[in-house]
Structure 1
């Protein structure tokens, strides 16, 4: 019995020693220090196309791991903190080998930023009785987020395809930087027939700078009668235009053409005048 007692005591002491050694080893092998992000400039300028520029002048160091700049990531870009100057906050994050994470923030001014632009995928002419929605015709693209057509909202009342009409529709889209733009476009609902001539425009929406010259005729591509026979572009008339190039805003142009039998066809161009 005495030997058994000694064996139990020895096993107990061995367990304590083993636990102590393991605890001490783990304590000394685990780094309790936090990494550090160093930023050379608190505000930089960058192109929206140069994603690598956001990391320039930013390094990360860790007491145990040394230089961990390669682990740095751009965690987020905030909404504009200065919309006029196109300035955002950029947040950086880095983790060391012990999964300690630190973050830091600085400002970036995007030198070539442009607000989102709308895309008119098809002419804004809807056939009476059809299931075509205005949402399916209007999209948007952005220099930061790319295609943001899924973020387009129609703010005005939905267009009814039950009656022939001309409607002014307001669309809105907002990108991840909080920049919101609106579009007011004319949408026509008309009775489909096989005798009206058609007008093909080179674009369904155009963007021009405030003060630029604008020629509605420039965007006429072609015209055809109901049999597909070409009609001279000279016969396409500007039936109405609200475009004012001296004032930023959204405008429309209505084109009209008559075939030899007196049948009329129309087309619409949306014009965005930017600052």
Structure 2
């Protein structure tokens, strides 16, 4: 019995010694080094059409004291959910063979970035009792994401009263994948057409321009139903075009003297 106890004690000592040696071995051999990511300090300048993984990783390298060159293991952890002007931030990451993670960030500057833009293919005018479907006429496009019309939201519905004639300002918003939100306020007109009222058709009802860009309003006039194109009169906003949204009004008298109108929204950037 005494011999058995001695054997058990020896066995326990051997197990403890083995565990201790194993722990020391792992502590001695465990890789405690963290990978290092190196990327240029200056911003990465790209065209929005060059937004590929290969381009975004250009000039970035990774190294680990144990694993060596880890550049091929680099990946993009994410892009900032916002953009300031034409700049956003990208975050790189790499993982070594011991699951140590390193990250680094860099500014990305787009040389040809523009915020999302709206487009209007018809006037927002509806007869009383008709279904108002603004999204059938209002679309949005983004240089990064392409067509984002399905992301348009109504931010402000004014005080529209169903079945009541009136002009109701409505604000629309759309956001791209970089977190950039564009908004515009347009008038939704609910009014029946009068007898003999001419209808003025434009090729576009919403345009974007720069302050120094020439503007020719008659180039957007397409046709007039119930009137003559030659009789169309264009009214500009008070004063010169300033930054923001202005309205250019086209009016025309019909054969019976009834006045018709159409509005071109001009966004000056």
**What secondary structure sits across from 1:102 in the alignment?**
strand
Does 1:269 find its partner at 2:228?
Answer: no
Q: How big is the shift at 1:255?
A: 3.8
- Residue 208 of structure 2 is matched in structure 1 by 207
- Residue 55 of structure 2 is matched in structure 1 by 53
Give TM-score, length-normalised by structure 2: 0.75
* 1:124-181 deviations in Å (ceiling 9; x for gaps): 1133234526577545433345527636453462433432223444445565666554
* Contact 1:155–1:172 (Cα < 8 Å) also in 2: no
CA 1:240/1:166 → structure 2, altered by over 3 Å: closer, same or farther? Answer: farther
Alignment of 1:159-174 (within 5 A): 159-173=160-174
- Residue 69 of structure 1 is matched in structure 2 by 71
Q: Distance in 2 between matches of 1:18 and 1:236?
A: 101
- Residue 97 of structure 2 is matched in structure 1 by 97
CA 1:74/1:193 → structure 2, altered by over 3 Å: closer, same or farther? Answer: farther
Q: Distance in 1 between matches of 2:35 and 2:240?
A: 55
Q: How big is the shift at 1:35?
A: 0.7
- Residue 114 of structure 1 is matched in structure 2 by 114
Q: How big is the shift at 1:66?
A: 1.8
Q: How big is the shift at 1:7?
A: 4.3
Q: Distance in 2 between matches of 1:180 and 1:155?
A: 15
- Residue 141 of structure 2 is matched in structure 1 by 141
CA 1:38/1:263 → structure 2, altered by over 3 Å: closer, same or farther? Answer: same
Q: Which runs of 5+ in 1 are unaligned?
A: 226-230
Q: Distance in 2 between matches of 1:179 and 1:265?
A: 37
Q: Distance in 1 between matches of 2:39 and 2:234?
A: 59
* Contact 2:154–2:170 (Cα < 8 Å) also in 1: no
Q: How big is the shift at 1:34?
A: 0.6
CA 1:129/1:269 → structure 2, altered by over 3 Å: closer, same or farther? Answer: same
- Return 256-265 or 119-128, whichever deviates more: 256-265
CA 1:148/1:89 → structure 2, altered by over 3 Å: closer, same or farther? Answer: farther
Alignment of 1:211-250 (within 5 A): 211-224=212-225, 234=229, 237-238=232-233, 240-242=235-237, 246-250=241-245
CA 1:7/1:196 → structure 2, altered by over 3 Å: closer, same or farther? Answer: farther
CA 1:160/1:39 → structure 2, altered by over 3 Å: closer, same or farther? Answer: same
State the aligned residue count. Answer: 265
Q: How big is the shift at 1:113?
A: 1.7
* Contact 1:213–1:245 (Cα < 8 Å) also in 2: no
Give TM-score, length-normalised by structure 1: 0.74
* 1:179-209 deviations in Å (ceiling 9; x for gaps): 5544243332112689866444322311122
- Residue 228 of structure 1 is matched in structure 2 by none
